[in-house]
Amino acid sequence: MPFLAAKYTLPWAAAIQALVAVFFFQLASFSYCFLYALVINVSCYAFYSIVVYPSWFSPFRHLPTPNSENPIFGHSLAEFEMPRGNAYLRFMNETDNAGLIHLHGLLGADQLLLTNIEALNEALIQRAYDFEWPEGDSNFLQKILGHGLITSEGQVHKRQRKQMARSFGVKQIKGLYPSFWEKSMCLVRKIAQELAQSSQKEGSSLVSGETDVCDWAQRAALDIIGEIGFGWEFNTLDNPDNELAKSCEQIFSPTLENALLFAISVYGPKWALDYVPGGISRRFLTATAKVRDVCRNFIKVKTAQVDTSRNILSQLMAQEGVSEDLLVDQTLTFLTAGNETVAIALTWATYLLAKHPDIQTQLRHELRCNLPSSAGPNGDLSSILESLPILNGVINETLRLYPSAPVAVRVSSRETSILGNYIPKGTRLFIAPWSINRSTDLWGPQAEMFLPQRWIDPTGTPNVTGGTETKSPLLTFLHGPRNCIGQGFAKAELLTLVAVFVRSFQTSLVNPGDVKSPGGALSAKPAGGMKLRLEVLDEAIL
Ligand code: HEM
């Protein structure tokens, strides 16, 4: 019996049993009988769910299950283990399987972990619309993002996806490289200025120092998606106290309050979010309303202007039948989806290069040979950057080892199947880029190592297989009709940001043995930021 149904059924059953006991057998009081019956019902239910159901009645009882489970919570605590997704990698490594692993959720609820490309292709490509975001996650996101591309399902999603796809064609993305370059230069100049000030105070002749790259990356990524995607100048590189950026941070930062609200939306009833005590809900809803208001005012101004640019917003506005509400929802959706994800990837790229100084030196050499001028290369920037083997290898390898969204959760919205296994409606599925991207079955014995050369062919040109036998093995952006629509945008942005960063700074760990690890509740954001030591190499940026 599903846990949520049991929540309501068990007390009702106990009430009926208590009434029977009182009226027909004249046993004690109603409340005494009710409590007694409830305890017995819950115990029987727990025994059935935890012991009987998984082994004898579950439709997945023939599938392998990892041994390491909690007697009450089953494998459900894996969702909260840090780094997020690592528990699923452990399950994959310790359990012989043919693409599906049966996990036990709270009180024996059925869950599946998808572990090979065939299973993933069926769930993400062939039957993508049989699986949806879990209702709780979707409700929570809808409070913030409304009904944009991320939170829409079925036909509405197909229609919106078609509308948005026009902004992400190869030609459109290629045209964005010069703007990415300009913003990347702005980032390195700002960092260099801060380092110059601290070096001056210390009387050092070198311009160097420690700084939190994660913070800088977040500011740069927000400015880029704001300005290049929507023509909206946030200027957080100049002004980190920007009001909208602060409100966004209040909503999305992994604070205890936000984690509580998220947990209540995911596991509690739909209305519970509005009744959380201590003003937590009110603060959250006020910040959300503020962000939406600012966004609506911005859209009103843009609608009144004659906009000749061809950014995401103007292309969407040019289409018929797109309401103001939808424009607000899509703007918030893309600002959110395209901001922190890229910042996380840039941060891990700088960390991996600091940890592997030899690769950093090779990359810098490649960049100096191909992008000689610090003012930006002449010629076709996109073709140059996309053809550089080490640069592409470093970015693909970063995205492989540190996928910004390490786990995606889906629930079957109808009866369906994967690899010939019957999947009833309501089954929870885990699709974990973190574990697939580190699977030794797919990537070989050195799966956990940072090896940009796996993305380079023996002829010296970049490849997309990463040395595997699969055409597109990287799961970081997922696959199929619900994959990341912004992946071309993100890769182009990262190619430019990393190229400019590596040309400008020598990057090293603050302490040689430093090991950083992801700590975000939902994302792979590094726990405690990413303090690195930078030394300015390019005097032109000072
Ligand atoms: C390194 C950077 C990025 C990563 C790793 C990433 C990853 C992902 C993933 C895993 C999903 C699927 C989420 C799910 O359904 O569970 C997704 C969806 C999405 N991403 Fe990205 N993303 C990145 C950058 C971007 C950028 C730059 C944009 C916008 C310009 C963007 C816009 C979106 C949108 C709108 C969706 C929803 C697509 C749909 O449901 O049809 N992302 N992204």
pLDDT in tens, 506-526: 999 999 989 999 988 789 999
Residue with tokens 């944009």: 148
What integer pLDDT is reported at residue 421 of this predicted model?
98
Beta strand pairing call for 408-412 and 131-132: antiparallel
Nearest to 488 by CA among 410, 401, 395: 395
**Count of residues making up the chain:** 542
Q: Which residue has the higher pLDDT, 272 or 120?
A: 120
Q: How confident is the model at residue 50 (pLDDT cuts 50, 70, 90)?
A: confident
Region 470-499 average pLDDT: 96
What integer pLDDT is reported at residue 280 of this predicted model?
79
Q: How confident is the model at residue 283 (pLDDT cuts 50, 70, 90)?
A: confident
Residue 299 and residue 335 in contact, taking contact as beta carbons nearer than 8 Å: no
In this model, does residue 3 exceed pLDDT 60? no
Region 116-130 average pLDDT: 97
Q: Is 74 helix (H, G, I), strand (E, B) or coil?
A: strand
Region 24-32 average pLDDT: 82
Region 372-394 average pLDDT: 86
Count of CB atoms situated within 10 Å of the CB of 85: 25
CA–CA separation, 120 and 81 (whole Å): 22
Contacts of 349 (CB under 8 A, 6+ apart): 394, 395, 398, 494, 498
Distance from the alpha carbon of residue 364 to the mean position of ligand 1, in angstroms = 29
What integer pLDDT is reported at residue 368 of this predicted model?
94
**Is the CB–ligand 1 distance for residue 490 below 6 Å?**
yes
What integer pLDDT is reported at residue 315 of this predicted model?
85
CA–CA separation, 441 and 444 (whole Å): 6
Token pair belonging to 82 = 């840090």
Distance from the alpha carbon of residue 221 to the mean position of ligand 1, in angstroms = 14
Question: Which 8-state DSSP code applies to residue 462?
Answer: B
- Of all protein residues, the one whose alpha carbon is nearest to atom 21 of ligand 1 is 484
Distance from the alpha carbon of residue 323 to the mean position of ligand 1, in angstroms = 23
Distance from the alpha carbon of residue 486 to the mean position of ligand 1, in angstroms = 6
**Is the CB–ligand 1 distance for residue 478 below 6 Å?**
yes
User: For residue 482, which amino acid is it?
Assistant: R
Check the annotation: does 186 bind a ligand. Answer: no
What integer pLDDT is reported at residue 5 of this predicted model?
58
User: For residue 267, which amino acid is it?
Assistant: Y
225 CA closest ligand 1 atom index: 30
In this model, does residue 113 exceed pLDDT 80? yes
**Does pTM surpass 0.95?**
no
Q: How confident is the model at residue 107 (pLDDT cuts 50, 70, 90)?
A: confident
The H or E element spanning position 131 is strand 131-132
What integer pLDDT is reported at residue 7 of this predicted model?
65
CA–CA separation, 33 and 497 (whole Å): 68
In this model, does residue 70 exceed pLDDT 90? no
What integer pLDDT is reported at residue 542 of this predicted model?
83
Backbone angles phi, psi at 424, to 5 degrees: -70, 160
CA–CA separation, 225 and 401 (whole Å): 24
What integer pLDDT is reported at residue 249 of this predicted model?
74
In this model, does residue 415 exceed pLDDT 90? yes
What integer pLDDT is reported at residue 254 of this predicted model?
62
Distance of CA 419 to the CA centre of its chain: 26
In this model, does residue 35 exceed pLDDT 60? yes
Beta strand pairing call for 110-114 and 100-104: antiparallel
Q: Which residue has the higher pLDDT, 10 or 184?
A: 184
What would the pLDDT profile of 445-478 be if each residue is shown by its tens digit? 999 999 999 999 999 999 999 999 998 899 999 9
344 CA closest ligand 1 atom index: 1
What would the pLDDT profile of 202-258 be if each residue is shown by its tens digit? 777 789 999 999 999 999 999 999 999 999 899 999 988 887 777 777 776 667 777
Q: How confident is the model at residue 103 (pLDDT cuts 50, 70, 90)?
A: very high
- Of all protein residues, the one whose alpha carbon is nearest to atom 18 of ligand 1 is 484
Lowest mean per-residue pLDDT among 24-33, 130-139, 265-274, 421-430? 265-274
Q: How confident is the model at residue 6 (pLDDT cuts 50, 70, 90)?
A: low
Q: Is 101 helix (H, G, I), strand (E, B) or coil?
A: strand
- Of all protein residues, the one whose alpha carbon is nearest to atom 23 of ligand 1 is 341
490 CA closest ligand 1 atom index: 27
Distance from the alpha carbon of residue 490 to the mean position of ligand 1, in angstroms = 9
User: For residue 460, which amino acid is it?
Assistant: G
For a substitution probing ligand 1, which of 183, 326, 341 has the most ligand atoms within 8 Å of its CB? 341
Q: What share of the chain is helix, strand, coil (3-state, %, to 5)?
A: 60, 10, 35
What integer pLDDT is reported at residue 259 of this predicted model?
74
Q: What's the angle, vertex CA 125, arms to CA 119 and CA 131, rounded to 5?
A: 80
In this model, does residue 2 exceed pLDDT 60? no
Residue 95 and residue 101 in contact, taking contact as beta carbons nearer than 8 Å: yes
CA–CA separation, 371 and 380 (whole Å): 11
Residue 139 and residue 458 in contact, taking contact as beta carbons nearer than 8 Å: no
What would the pLDDT profile of 136-178 be if each residue is shown by its tens digit? 889 888 888 899 999 999 999 999 999 899 889 999 999 999 9
Lowest mean per-residue pLDDT among 22-26, 370-374, 485-489? 370-374
Distances from the Cα of 393 to the Cα of 43, 163, 429, angstroms: 55, 32, 31
- Of all protein residues, the one whose alpha carbon is nearest to atom 19 of ligand 1 is 484
